Structure 1
Amino acid sequence: MGDFWVFGYGSLMWRPGFAHVETQRARLHGYRRALCVTSHVHRGTPERPGLVLGLDRGGSCLGLAFRVPGDLRDEVVGYLRARELVTLVYLERLLPVRLDGGGTVPALTYVVDRGHEQYAGALEVDEAARRVSGAVGVSGANEEYVLNTVAHLKALGIRDHWLDGVAEKLVPPQP
């Protein structure tokens, strides 16, 4: 089998964790980046859940597409499934992404399952910030996850105004 593409929109963008031979900015139409997944383990607890990113229906999402050599397909797909499908809140899909370098390619993508109990739905900026603030899980503070994601997006020249709004609510105003 030939090379294949993986689309990253959150932590996969700055910590893919798998071998790849090319990275391009890419846009996925029909889905948007959102803090729409309740986290009971990595960024929260059952008593104080946090929020992590998911691809939810509507709009479009600018992210990164990673080209993976075909001979690594089983290894990389196995890694991604272990990472993304732990609680089955994401659905694995092969969706078309438009590469900045030109052309459209099918990319392995993980979108939120709206029927899953961890789906938080569409949240206003203030509500998302309230849920993120103070939540801590085995992977660390939820605020750190959001602020780190926003910083990496900005470093890549990607603006996500909704997520920026959440991050602004998490940072105390400077005197």
Structure 2
Amino acid sequence: MSVEGKESMSKQDEIIVVGKFGASYGIRGWLKVISYTDIAENIFDYKPLHANVRGEWVEVSVESWKRHKGLVCKLDGLNVREEAQTYTNLEIGVAASALPKLSEEEFYWRELFGMQVINVQGYGLGEVVDLMATGSNDVLVVKANLKDAFGKKERLIPFLDGQVIKSIDRTAQRIEVDWDPGF
């Protein structure tokens, strides 16, 4: 079965990218999988998975998976290398509703995008446009306001809960930080 043979999602639930398909593996339709989940193999716990085919999310079903210098999987209906190659570099997504519910103190990164960042003195530092994983701690990428008094275009603020991040208000879409606006 080719990418074109999959049916599009009927209900447009928000899809969250959790990985992508890599190169084909072997001659029987297997694909390498790059997982963005905390524990890589957890990507296969989500049902159903979707592939982003030319901007459309289509449902895919994993027939089998295994660890082999990373992760590889076989999708239902893909039986030869050439068919699997049509999935190379496609994003893998899941419906947002399939993600585990978090406690009030926990956040998915996607929830922080667009929040306004204000320091403890009340200065508006800008809006969260990205997050970076650095290995030691995550970093907020904050696009500065148009008329930033300190001439900043972007700020990188370490996501250190309690130390730098003082509060996150989902309702107000605001993050309060202990951060010097000149830095």
Q: TM-score if structure 2 supplies the norm length?
A: 0.28
- The structure that has the greater radius of gyration is 2
Q: TM-score if structure 1 supplies the norm length?
A: 0.29
Greater relative CO (CA pairs within 8 A, separation 6+)? 1
Higher strand share: 2
